[in-house]
Amino acid sequence: MIQTREAEKNTALLNVDQIREDFPVLGRMINGMPLAYLDNAASSQSPRQVIDAVKLYHESHHSNVHRGVHTLSQEATSLYEEAREKIRAFLNAASLKEIIFTSGTTDAVNLVASSFVEERLNEGDEILITHLEHHSNIVPWHILCERKKAKLRVLPINDRGEIILDNLDDYLTSRTRIVGVNHISNALGTINPVKKIVEAAHRKNIPVLVDGAQATPHEIVDVQDLGCDFYAISGHKMYGPTGIGVLYGKQELLEKMRPYRSGGDMILSVSFDKVVYNELPYRFEAGTPPIAQAIGLGAAADYINSIGKKAIQNYENMLLDYATRKLGEIPQVRFIGTAREKASLVSFVIDGVHPHDVGTILDGEGIAVRTGHHCAQPVMDRFSIPATTRASFAFYNTTEEIDRLVAGVRKVIEVFDA
Amino acid sequence: MLNTHTRNLYQDVILDHNKKPRNYRVLEGHSHMAHGDNPLCGDKIDVYLTVDENDVVVDVSFMGDGCAISKASASMMTTMVKGKPLDEVNTLFREFHQMSTGKLDPDTEANHLGRLKIFAGVRDLPARVKCATLAWHTLDAALKGDRKVSTE
């Protein structure tokens, strides 16, 4: 019963009814039912504060950044740079020079692959990732390894969906040029011991890139404490707009890296004989950046801070416990991913029913979940399944919505006589 | 009670074919065969046909993994095309495809779809159209001599 009281206390920390008022889309009806949006790990909804920041920019301040001397351009530039500062503080990076705006996590990983790893990777070298990675932290490395005749090595996971660290030292060899690991698994929700991995890799001077796409909405991310060399995030996973992400990189590494995309804004001077590249972080931001989206992302960080990471964590953990308990009462439901450290999502299968049929029937009830391989096919292969149904929770979700999910799943089982 | 959209799709006939797929086996001595993939869902299917010298589909079967819609569609397809001449099979393929994509209303326009009309509901669920049509695309590929087909 202690748990129940704890749950009540956590709920009390958040005024969810008031929070839901901030998210216009949560008022929508889907197929005649109120939307229960449980697909936050794929993309989270934006609060009015984010939408308004983007709107205000378009209505009053839109111009190109870092270029004009006119008023609008200066306003746009300061809004864009203020957003960078908000993200710096959000990740606790040491310097603004370490915050590079990208189009998302995928773009950030590709930046590191192309500008940092490529020239350091030779035939026979190794890149180490884990079995839990999203395709975005597999494919760029696979392509690079293929081109350089290098080897992609994979840290295994156990039946709970946790990375097995026992032989980590054997995987970190004198040929390892980088380690890529996600902070939280998008498919299973496992929270990975990235700090431990960073420490082990650094003992052998191997740099580490952390895919933080799933972590920023749930975890208190402190890149200096983690000690990682690179940290990649996406705006739309943390209540911000799509088309914007961030690569955090340690300044001393970024300084030594060659440019990624090339064009305007990433240069200091250009002649046909000689190009002098711009200083950090602009060297890695060629062309007109996604200005409105960066401002929106800054507003999203503000919003998360206004609620409080700790309160968000407590509340979402309560949702996770509730969903695990309620779905666990259904004998036909089999959870995939039962890590001891887990973010607020449940991935499951119902024997005899394909997840896409589950997804369609739940949609008929106004419930949005993700069904499929979650861009993590190796994880699916590990558990010998083609796909799962995944419900992922945000701080605006409620236990009532989870009750509807559970009722929906029971309906699926009834229809399919599973 | 299911919502109207989903009830239209998950009718008893479809659920029954999903649970007890007909002609679900490898066809020994087949004359045509193709493998179909729906990479988005991970659905996989093999379609086998035996076509005789008069261009009649004398036997047909399938094997595969997928959702209820794809499995039931494959199962009902085999029961429909068995014993039919190729020109009628091709007409069915065309009409089924048109119905699934909302270009043919089987209730108001002339067609030969018969009990396949039950799949008309997928036109309201764009994400599921490929599930219903995968078996048919694979059958078409087998008859054209392509060994592999993907709905991407």
User: Known catalytic residue: A228?
Assistant: no
In Å, how far is B18's CA from the nearest CA of chain A?
9
Q: Specify whether A137 is located in the same domain as A272.
A: yes
Closest CB from A364, A365, A372 relative to B41: A372
Where among A269, A285, A305 does a domain terminate? A305
- Identified catalytic residue from A56, A168, A375, A385: A375
Q: Specify whether A78 is located in the same domain as A197.
A: yes
0.95 cut: is pTM over it? Answer: no
Q: Specify whether A361 is located in the same domain as A396.
A: yes
Q: Specify whether A226 is located in the same domain as A322.
A: no
Residue with tokens 């995987």: A171
Q: Which of B1, B2, B45, B67 to probe by mutation at the A interface, max A CB count within 10 Å?
A: B67
What string of H, E and C letters represents the secondary structure of A32-76?
Answer: CEECEECECCCCCCCCHHHHHHHHHHHHHHCCCCCCCCCHHHHHH
Q: Specify whether A176 is located in the same domain as A203.
A: yes
Q: Specify whether A20 is located in the same domain as A160.
A: no
Q: Specify whether A207 is located in the same domain as A60.
A: yes
* All domains of chain B in start order, with CATH: 4-150 (3.90.1010.10)
Predicted ipTM > 0.85: yes
pLDDT of residue B43: 85
Percent of chain A at pLDDT exceeding 70: 97
With a cut of 70, which residues of chain B have pLDDT below it? 1, 147-148, 150-152
Per the structure, the complete domain to which residue A153 belongs is given by 52-305
Where among A285, A305, A325 does a domain terminate? A305
Q: Specify whether A361 is located in the same domain as A254.
A: no
- The torsion region of residue A309 among left (phi > 0), alpha (psi -120 to 50) and beta comes to alpha
- For A386, the closest chain B residue by CA position comes to B42
Where among A305, A323, A343 does a domain terminate? A305
* H or E segment and range at residue A12: helix A2-13
Q: How many domains does chain A have?
A: 2
The per-residue pLDDT for range B91-126, each reduced to its tens digit, is: 999 999 999 999 999 999 999 999 999 999 899 888
Q: Specify whether A8 is located in the same domain as A34.
A: yes
Enumerate helices (H) and strands (E) in chain B, giving the number of each: 5, 4
CB B128 within 8 A of CB B107: no
- For A366, the closest chain B residue by CA position comes to B3
CB atoms within 10 A of CB A303: 20
Q: Specify whether A158 is located in the same domain as A210.
A: yes
Q: Specify whether A272 is located in the same domain as A373.
A: no
The per-residue pLDDT for range A325-371, each reduced to its tens digit, is: 999 999 999 999 999 999 999 999 999 899 999 999 999 999 999 99
Which contacts qualify for A328-332: CB closer than 8 Å, 24 or more apart? A329/A406, A330/A406, A330/A409, A330/A410, A330/A413, A332/A413, A332/A418
Contact across the interface for B5 and A373, Cβ inside 8 Å: no
**β-strands A345-350, A99-102: how paired?**
unpaired
Query: Distance between alpha carbon A158 and the CA centroid of its chain, in Å?
Result: 22
Q: Specify whether A214 is located in the same domain as A89.
A: yes
pLDDT-derived band at A165, boundaries 50, 70, 90: very high
CB atoms within 10 A of CB B49: 24
Nearest Cα neighbor of A215 from A45, A39, A373, A343 is A343
